[in-house]
Structure 1
């Protein structure tokens, strides 16, 4: 939004105010074009572009605080994430990637190798041997979450598949 106002020579209008009605309306239009629809009514009711800008700054400070709190909450979730009892590999992978994606959307990017390492640390004990094999035989920096999920899913499917005689897995 600042770039749009600067390009139109209107940044000073929102920062300092102006007596020129046309400049003020052009600045107000630029502000309203740059905000989410839910803010248009609130900001559009202000008497000047400067008032709208000041209000928008106050909103942004509040939303920045909310964003920081959300990032902290998601970081805690990432730190403590674990498989739930009986949770399928694909379901856990979806929860993990969703969490990482939410963090990324909020500007907190977690490297894929960090996510893969976390994934392998929290697998249920029935997959521990697979996790150890992956860690010792493969380059973790080159693995994706999808790679790990595929390998664990193959083991999950094999363990759950009935034997040739139609019997269930022995455990």
Structure 2
């Protein structure tokens, strides 16, 4: 099967709301390869009433390229995003709608992250909680924060763990801090040391 210079066969990635960064990079490359990126980015002028034959031909070509871009966008979004761009009059409008959806997702992540930070700050080990349960709760919570863009080092997480253990662990915490350098310790090793005591 032969392909012309503007057709290609590939698995197109679908925008699902969680993969905007990767999806937009890939879509820009595809749109560039298809020679329709500028139509999506800049749009094209409407046809004026007194248009010359050249202007009519140019408009017709731009409209064809815009339809090609819309077709690609429709194929590369999930159902929820398709509904958002279904009424768009141009590929440029559709792209702007998708970008605005991304901004909404980012804003939601920021709000969610603020809530998680607050929960993280007040997190303490419960009296009846086992070390493994507490460590798993902290790791699960910090993983959720990282998924929303928070940058956290293992050392920060271990320091939080040691600070928030119940008082009966105080002497163990001192022993761990004196005998091991936290910057070289892994979270699993810390958990193992705590469970051993």
Q: TM-score band, normalised by the shorter chain?
A: 0.7 to 0.9
1:92 aligns with 2:134: yes
Name the residue aligned to 1:51: 93
1:12 to 34, 38, 48: 38
Name the CA distance, whole Å, in 1 between partners of 2:78 and 2:131.
Answer: 38
Question: TM-score, with normalisation over the residues of structure 2?
Answer: 0.70
Deviations 1:124-147 (A, max 9, x none): 111111111001111110112111
- Paired residues for 1:83-122 under 5 Å: 83-122=125-164
Aligned equivalents of 1:33, 1:97: Cα separation in 2: 38
What residue in structure 2 maps to residue 167 of structure 1? none
Offset at residue 44 of structure 1 (A): 3.7
The answer (yes or no) to whether the contact 1:112–1:145 under 8 Å persists in 2 is: yes
The alignment of Structure 1 onto Structure 2 pairs a total of residues equal to 155
Normalised by the length of structure 1, the TM-score is: 0.79
Change (3 A) 1:5 1:30: farther
Unmatched tracts of structure 1, length 5 or more: 156-171
Root-mean-square deviation (Å): 2.0
Q: Which runs of 4+ in 1 moved over 6 A?
A: none
Asked if 2 retains the 8 angstrom alpha-carbon contact of 1:5 and 1:27, the reply is no
**SS at the partner of 2:137?**
helix
